[in-house]
Amino acid sequence: MAEPPNTLPKSAPSIPLDKDVIEKAAEKERKAAEKEERRKAFEAQKALMVPSAEGEGQHRMTKDERREKQERERAEKEAKKSGVPDGTKKDAPRTRSPPKTSAPVVSSGVGSGGKASPGGGGEQTGKKAISKPSGAFAAGVHPAVFQCGLWTKNFYVVGSNARCIAMLLALKDWMRSVAAQKSMAVFVHESFAGTKKALSTQLSFMASCRARSVGMSNAIRLLKQESFRISNLSSPRAEHDAYDDLCSFVDTFILEKIEYARDKMIRHATPLIQSGDVILTYAHSSVIRELLYAAGRNGTKSFHVIVVDSPPLNEGRALLAALSTFPTVQITYCQMTSLGSTLPKANKVFLGASATMSNGEILSRSGTALVALMAKQYHIPVIGFCETYKFTNQVWLGNLTNNEERTQDGVLQYMYDLTPVSLIDVIITEYGPTPPMNIGTVIRDKTEVLS
């Protein structure tokens, strides 16, 4: 028997064994094995998700299903506490709540529901204040009201007069939009200003951004009184006509109670400014600004104005910019820390007011009482300026009563202080100079201001 040849036949050539080829083949086999294992694991998990025909298999819930089950159980517990049958909760369709979105930053704080706050600036108005208006809370709020609330919250609008005008104009835009949608139905006061109605929604949002001042509260009260008067007319008014009348009332209030009152106050106070006077004022008041502006605009009087300011708002810079164009008016700007060295140079002190109490005390920006106290020590007359729509029959017992709080850099600050009646010589109103002790008489006689 012949032995096999020692060499391979020519039909089967030898293949060189390259190390790289061997490693690539092994890697390919390894990946294929891992892929097969993942496929088997997926098939096994998929089988667990399908219940058996006899109902013995357990359904493995997804994350969304678990969340929905938790919400359903929570709703059932709340229904049991409130006495509502469980069936009403189970039968109701379940809807996913939209994700929370932050309110747009318009950058001018948040008050307690319906309580009035003094006026002027701040982010918070107490321990129960809401710091930021959420998107859910803003549901049903008119865009103009929403914008006005954010402006006041972030101090784009400061000052009691400016805030009151901004609020009334925002409500006017809202009433115009409502009037365009209303039919010829008879206007009813309860549908406008009743509890938890349309007006309350707008006012609640603005109060959540920053508490209302005394002047704003008086304006809202008069607006509700006007709606009640319209609803009780002998000839009923249609809804769209009644809302038009309310818009006209807003225009009249701004014109008479704020703008016309300011002009009358300027007319009464202009003789108080003489050539050579050194007038000291604190922060910024729109009435005092217009008064000094009118006195310096004519160029016939040369006087000196000392503007005392304080952080965090530094409102006196606005007054400084308004008077810097008059060559006959000399201006000195200083912070509160320099009050001791600048006050003795003045012979009059003009102070604005956010509100005036029935006992003659003035509520104004924090620091006003200190300026009045030091002026009293130097026997310098203190003159206050306040419109009658900002009068209130309330009496505060100290500076901490209903005061508005503001937290900045971790420090709690009170936005207002109360100037005692003993530190004020006279208060200028649209009805003329009034002794502080007679403010209660003005409130009693002017029933259209405070009833």
Query: Among 132-136, 405-409, 423-427, which stretch is predicted with the lowest mean pLDDT?
Result: 132-136
Residue at 319: amino acid letter: L
Query: Among 171-180, 308-317, 346-355, 401-410, which stretch is predicted with the lowest mean pLDDT?
Result: 401-410
Task: Single out the residue of 386, 400, 392, 376 nearest to residue 449, CA to CA.
Answer: 392
Query: Among 55-64, 185-194, 405-414, which stretch is predicted with the lowest mean pLDDT?
Result: 55-64
Domains of the chain (ranges, CATH numbers): 143-261 (no CATH), 273-445 (3.40.50.10470)
Look at residue 383 and tell me whether its pLDDT is greater than 60: yes
Rounded to an integer, what distance in angstroms lies between the CA atom of residue 176 and that of residue 360? 39
Look at residue 25 and tell me whether its pLDDT is greater than 90: no
Strand partners, 351: 384
Look at residue 441 and tell me whether its pLDDT is greater than 90: no
Cβ–Cβ < 8 Å for 371, 308: yes
Mean pLDDT of 26-49: 80
Question: Tens of pLDDT along 300-343?
Answer: 788 999 999 998 888 899 888 888 888 888 999 999 999 999 99
Q: Which residue has the tokens 């080829």?
A: 21
- Give the mean pLDDT of the chain: 79
Query: Among 74-83, 155-164, 248-257, 355-364, which stretch is predicted with the lowest mean pLDDT?
Result: 74-83
Rounded to an integer, what distance in angstroms lies between the CA atom of residue 429 and that of residue 18? 105
What pLDDT does residue 89 have?
Answer: 42
* Strand 382-385 with 362-365, pairing: unpaired
In the chain, % of residues over pLDDT 70: 75
What pLDDT does residue 231 have?
Answer: 84
- Higher per-residue confidence, 193 vs 229: 229
What pLDDT does residue 259 have?
Answer: 95
What pLDDT does residue 447 have?
Answer: 55
Look at residue 90 and tell me whether its pLDDT is greater than 50: no
Task: Single out the residue of 421, 448, 394, 405 nearest to residue 110, CA to CA.
Answer: 405
Cβ–Cβ < 8 Å for 293, 322: yes
Task: Say if residue 381 is preceded by a cis peptide, omega within 30 of 0.
Answer: no
What pLDDT does residue 286 have?
Answer: 92
What pLDDT does residue 357 have?
Answer: 92
Rounded to an integer, what distance in angstroms lies between the CA atom of residue 164 and that of residue 63? 50
pLDDT band at 3 (very low <50, low <70, confident <90, very high): low
Mean pLDDT of 275-290: 93
